[in-house]
């Protein structure tokens, strides 16, 4: 016999039943949502043929296929340790479309007026007659600019100026009643730059304000025009090496039409025209606004009017009959076109028609320069068709390229390739689907690393500028290279104007340091006595003279005779006259001694000497327009009194600073010259060195050039150097452009290697056209007096920065008796 069921058991069973069915329903709903989501994703990523066909016109072309460019940054330029010398940063400008601002304000005012009249006014509803001030009040805090200043940037407050790029003062405010006349609309600029360079915070604030305000925000008419800007974190340091970028071309500039505004203004015009006709007055009614615009545009952009109408309204709606029918329907509705779906002005309008007119329509994706010129010229004419006011050119795609320096040399590596996303969109612009292959990733530019050390570069620039300014010189150049690898650690060139003398050359960097030419590679000059070191060492190495050999010389100028040809060789100082040893010839920089040994060598041997040192041959460091230098012409060698004698002491030949440091590297190594490089190299990399001297000749040359510092023309370095070194000075007369030499204008140079025993660096400084009346330098014009001290300071700075221990405090300074006693212990 069954026991009776408890009364409490029935509710429990019902609860369980409800729970089970709830679980089943929730699970089914979840499955359904998952299936729908999966199908949406599938349609977007891989739409079927029916969906694709629905988005094609009669010719099979995708009517709503849109491509969006995704610009990527240009590659960075780095120094040898990865410090950034140049990079892209996101910037941009803020511009205002005043016609958009006024139209939006008018539409908003009409909607607000209707709500007020209907007793449905909202809290912040008010009629705005001064939209420019309203906009300025909102932009001011974002830009950190006073409201009045922003208004001044937009409005031409001085009628006498007549600035057509700004809003005329007479159109500063909207009329309290009625509308602006067609000719007044044409006077309103569509592109006024309010702020040229926005920073990250200003961009963020602007975007936030637009998002918060929505489509009815007055800030909507202010547009951010993004632009990637090239930034040099170290400013003008190494600017001439880094170089500058520029816009190579502005392409893909599209022409669009604001269909919404075109239809709305045509509607307002027709209402007035119909009123005039009803009173018996003459008036023309617009029965096809798009057709009128297309007819006006056609001759300007070389495109048939029918094709323009089709581009605006589509293959079907763009036909004449369809256009007229759609416009007639709009007029019959008895309402204009507002800015949003739910506004009162849009009530009763056909949804498809409203969709068609809701956004700007692309007429021509890529306009030519002729298109743009004709379009701009026509819009300025008083006789221009009013419909042209609703067509505008959008900013195009700018291609950034290097204009100078490494930016230009390595442009191919630095340049980026933008990516693209192609998608199918509805007429309102909503994304429907991304087809297979619709996304193409771009490529950011590659970074380029230089051998330059920005810290050393800054040291060099500071030292050279100090001397150039003190000497009131017309310019200066400098190089620092790694003696082991040939890497260029610093390279500098400066031209200085306002010296009171004619400039030595054109200063392309006057307005921008990044436009400076790399004159240390492109501009050869007569080296003067610096060149003696190379001829001196060659003569020793090939048996034409011995270091301690006595060279008989007159107590005055030397006269050279070759047949009928005669030439007189003079010295810079009278103390240099008289018999000297071959060692003293280099230490005291004696021209006559060099010319005497050159006579022994002969022209053919001197030519072999120049060829071995690679003078007349470029260094191939990759600098554009690098000069190979200038060698004596063939006829100059016909007489020993000409090229042979001149070259021996650095005249009649022109070399670049790069060629000088490359040749001098043989003295810092075992007699082999190292190829130079602007790219960083491994310390033990195989560089293909070029032998030119024996190790014995290198040793003797170093020792003698150390005496140049201790007792010769470079004695000023004794008061500076804390590292041992060797070097040679040079003072050459400045050449005139039309030939010949200036009598009192010079090139003062000094080149050195340090430390003496195991050279790490080579330093060259040239001071161009120093003022012989400059008080700060005592009117000095010699290489040892001007360039020498700069070289000494650079050696101390660079080797100290590299962490090399010094060779003593003022290693070449005269020691006191006490110091001598201490050294002897």
Query: Are 794 and 763 within 8 A, CB to CB?
Result: yes
Considering only CA atoms, which of 249, 247, 240, 227 is closest in space to residue 88? Answer: 227
Kindly report, residue by residue over 13-48, the tens digit of the pLDDT: 766 677 777 777 777 777 777 777 666 666 655 666
Specify the higher pLDDT residue, 398 or 262.
Answer: 262
At residue 806, the pLDDT reads 93
Q: What's the CA gap between 547 and 533, in Å, rounded?
A: 12
At residue 600, the pLDDT reads 96
| Number of Cβ atoms within 10 Å of the Cβ of 644 | 26
50 CB-near residues (< 8 Å, 6+ apart): none
Sign of the C-alpha dihedral computed for residues 418, 422, 427 and 433 taken in this order: negative
For residue 465, pLDDT beyond 60 = yes
693 CB-near residues (< 8 Å, 6+ apart): 537, 538, 541, 666, 667, 671, 701
Model pTM score: 0.70
Cis peptide preceding 195, ω within 30 of 0: no
Task: Kindly state the average pLDDT of the residues 349-360.
Answer: 51
For residue 54, pLDDT beyond 60 = no
Q: What's the CA gap between 647 and 595, in Å, rounded?
A: 9
Considering only CA atoms, which of 777, 773, 788 is closest in space to residue 731? Answer: 788
At residue 335, the pLDDT reads 47
Considering only CA atoms, which of 248, 519, 523, 522 is closest in space to residue 407? Answer: 248
At residue 61, the pLDDT reads 42
Kindly report, residue by residue over 509-558, the tens digit of the pLDDT: 777 888 899 999 999 999 999 999 999 999 999 999 999 999 999 999 99
Q: Which of 116-120, 348-352, 721-725 has the highest mean pLDDT?
A: 721-725
Task: Kindly state the average pLDDT of the residues 622-633.
Answer: 94
Query: Are 480 and 451 within 8 A, CB to CB?
Result: no
User: Would you kindly state where each structural domain of the chain is located, as residue ranges?
Assistant: 454-824
At residue 271, the pLDDT reads 84
Q: What's the CA gap between 84 and 344, in Å, rounded?
A: 57
Specify the higher pLDDT residue, 626 or 362.
Answer: 626
Radius of gyration of the chain from its Cα atoms, rounded to whole angstroms: 40
Query: Are 293 and 327 within 8 A, CB to CB?
Result: no
Query: Are 513 and 493 within 8 A, CB to CB?
Result: no
Kindly state the tokens that stand for 10: 């029935």
Give the mean pLDDT of the chain: 84
Task: Characterise 115 by phi-psi region: left (phi > 0), alpha (psi -120 to 50), beta (else).
Answer: alpha
| Number of Cβ atoms within 10 Å of the Cβ of 135 | 26
Task: Kindly state the average pLDDT of the residues 449-476.
Answer: 97
For residue 814, pLDDT beyond 90 = no
643 CB-near residues (< 8 Å, 6+ apart): 603, 606, 632, 636, 637, 652
Q: What's the CA gap between 644 and 650, in Å, rounded?
A: 10
User: Exposed (0-12), middle (13-18) or buried (19+): which is 513, by Cβ within 10 Å?
Assistant: middle
Query: Are 433 and 62 within 8 A, CB to CB?
Result: no
For residue 344, pLDDT beyond 50 = no
- Residue-wise DSSP of 174-197: --SSS---HHHHHHS-S-EEEES-
Task: Give the pairing of strands 690-691 and 726-735.
Answer: unpaired
Q: What's the CA gap between 253 and 358, in Å, rounded?
A: 22
Domain 454-824 has CATH 3.40.710.10: yes
Q: pLDDT tier at 187 (50, 70, 90 boundaries)?
A: confident
At residue 377, the pLDDT reads 80
602 CB-near residues (< 8 Å, 6+ apart): 640, 644
For residue 686, pLDDT beyond 70 = no
At residue 341, the pLDDT reads 36
At residue 7, the pLDDT reads 47
Kindly report, residue by residue over 383-418, the tens digit of the pLDDT: 778 888 878 776 555 678 899 999 999 999 998 887
At residue 122, the pLDDT reads 84
At residue 428, the pLDDT reads 43
Backbone φ, ψ for residue 195 (5° rounding): -145, 125
Considering only CA atoms, which of 248, 508, 599 is closest in space to residue 402? Answer: 248
Kindly report, residue by residue over 783-806, the tens digit of the pLDDT: 999 999 999 999 999 999 999 999
CA 510 from centroid of its chain's CA atoms = 17
Query: Are 644 and 602 within 8 A, CB to CB?
Result: yes
3-state secondary structure of 527: coil
């Amino acid at each position: 016999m069954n026991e009776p069921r408890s009364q409490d058991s029935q509710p429990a069973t019902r609860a369980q039943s409800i729970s089970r069915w709830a679980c089943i329903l929730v699970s089914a709903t979840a499955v359904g949502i998952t299936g729908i989501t999966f199908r949406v994703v599938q349609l977007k990523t891989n739409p079927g043929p029916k969906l694709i066909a629905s988005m094609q016109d009669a010719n099979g072309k995708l009517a709503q296929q849109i491509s969006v460019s995704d610009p990527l940054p240009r590659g960075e330029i780095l120094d040898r340790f990865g410090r950034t010398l140049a990079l892209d940063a996101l910037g941009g400008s803020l511009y205002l479309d005043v016609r958009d601002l006024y139209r939006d304000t008018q539409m908003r005012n009409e909607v607000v007026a209707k709500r007020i009249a209907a007793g449905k006014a909202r809290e912040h509803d008010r009629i705005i007659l001064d939209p420019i001030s309203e906009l300025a009040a909102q932009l001011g805090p974002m830009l950190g600019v006073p409201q009045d200043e922003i208004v001044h940037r937009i409005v031409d407050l001085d009628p006498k100026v007549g600035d057509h790029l700004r809003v005329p003062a007479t159109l500063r405010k909207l009329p309290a009643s009625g509308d602006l006349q067609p000719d007044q609309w044409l006077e309103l600029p569509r592109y006024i730059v309010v702020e040229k360079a926005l920073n990250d915070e200003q961009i963020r604030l602007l975007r936030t304000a637009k998002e918060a305000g929505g489509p009815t925000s007055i800030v909507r008419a202010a547009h951010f025009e993004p632009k990637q800007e090239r930034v040099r974190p170290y400013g003008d340091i190494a600017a001439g090496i880094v170089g500058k970028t520029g816009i190579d071309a502005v392409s893909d500039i599209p022409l669009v039409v604001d269909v919404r505004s075109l239809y709305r203004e045509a509607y307002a015009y027709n209402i007035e025209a119909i009123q005039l006709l009803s009173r018996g007055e003459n008036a023309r009614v617009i029965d096809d606004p798009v057709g009128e615009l297309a007819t006006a545009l056609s001759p300007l952009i070389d495109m048939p009017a029918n094709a323009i109408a089709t581009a605006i309204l589509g293959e079907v709606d763009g036909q004449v009959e369809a256009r007229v029918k759609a416009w007639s329907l709009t007029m019959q509705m008895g309402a204009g076109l507002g800015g949003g779906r739910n506004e009162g002005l849009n009530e009763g309008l056909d949804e498809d028609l409203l969709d068609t007119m809701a956004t700007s329509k692309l007429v021509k994706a890529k306009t030519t320069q002729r298109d743009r010129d004709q379009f701009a010229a026509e819009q300025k004419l008083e006789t221009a068709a009013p419909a042209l006011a609703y067509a505008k050119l959008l900013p195009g795609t700018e291609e950034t390229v290097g204009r100078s320096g490494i930016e230009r040399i390595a442009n191919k590596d630095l340049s980026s390739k933008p990516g693209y996303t192609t998608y199918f969109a509805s007429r309102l612009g909503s994304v429907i689907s991304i087809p297979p292959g619709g996304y193409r990733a771009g490529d950011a530019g590659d970074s380029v690393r230089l051998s330059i050390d920005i810290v050393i570069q800054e040291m060099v620039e500071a030292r050279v500028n100090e001397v150039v300014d003190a000497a009131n010189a017309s310019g200066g150049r400098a190089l620092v290279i790694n003696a082991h690898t040939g890497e260029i650690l610093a390279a500098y060139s400066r031209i200085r104007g306002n010296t009171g003398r004619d400039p030595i050359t054109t200063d392309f960097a006057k307005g921008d340091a990044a436009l400076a030419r790399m004159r240390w590679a492109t501009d050869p000059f007569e080296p003067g006595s610096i060149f003696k070191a190379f001829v001196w060492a060659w003569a020793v190495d090939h048996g034409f003279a011995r270091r301690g050999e006595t060279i008989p010389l007159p107590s005055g100028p030397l006269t050279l005779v070759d047949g009928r040809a005669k030439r007189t060789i003079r010295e810079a100082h009278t103390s240099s006259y008289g018999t000297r040893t071959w060692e003293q010839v280099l230490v005291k920089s004696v021209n006559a001694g060099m010319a005497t040994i050159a006579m022994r060598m002969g022209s053919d041997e001197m030519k072999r000497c120049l060829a071995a040192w690679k003078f007349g041959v470029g260094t191939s460091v990759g600098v554009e327009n690098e000069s190979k230098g200038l060698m004596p012409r063939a006829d100059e060698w016909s007489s020993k009194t000409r090229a042979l004698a001149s070259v021996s002491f650095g005249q009649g030949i022109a070399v670049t600073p790069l060629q000088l440091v490359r040749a001098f590297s043989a003295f810092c190594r075992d007699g082999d010259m190292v190829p130079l490089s602007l790219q960083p190299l491994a310390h033990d990399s195989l560089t293909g060195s070029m032998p030119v001297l024996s190790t014995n000749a290198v040793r003797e040359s170093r020792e003698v050039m150390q005496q140049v510092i201790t007792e010769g023309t470079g004695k000023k370095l004794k008061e500076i150097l804390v590292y041992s070194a060797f070097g040679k000075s040079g003072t050459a007369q400045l050449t005139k452009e039309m030939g010949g030499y200036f009598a009192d204008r010079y090139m003062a140079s000094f080149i050195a290697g340090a430390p003496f025993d195991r050279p790490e660096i080579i330093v060259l400084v040239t001071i161009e056209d120093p003022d012989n009346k400059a008080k700060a330098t005592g009117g000095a014009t010699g290489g040892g007096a001007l360039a020498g001290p700069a070289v000494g300071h650079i050696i101390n700075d660079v080797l100290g920065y590299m962490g090399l221990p010094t060779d003593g405090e003022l290693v070449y300074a005269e020691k006191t008796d006490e110091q001598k006693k201490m050294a002897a212990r």
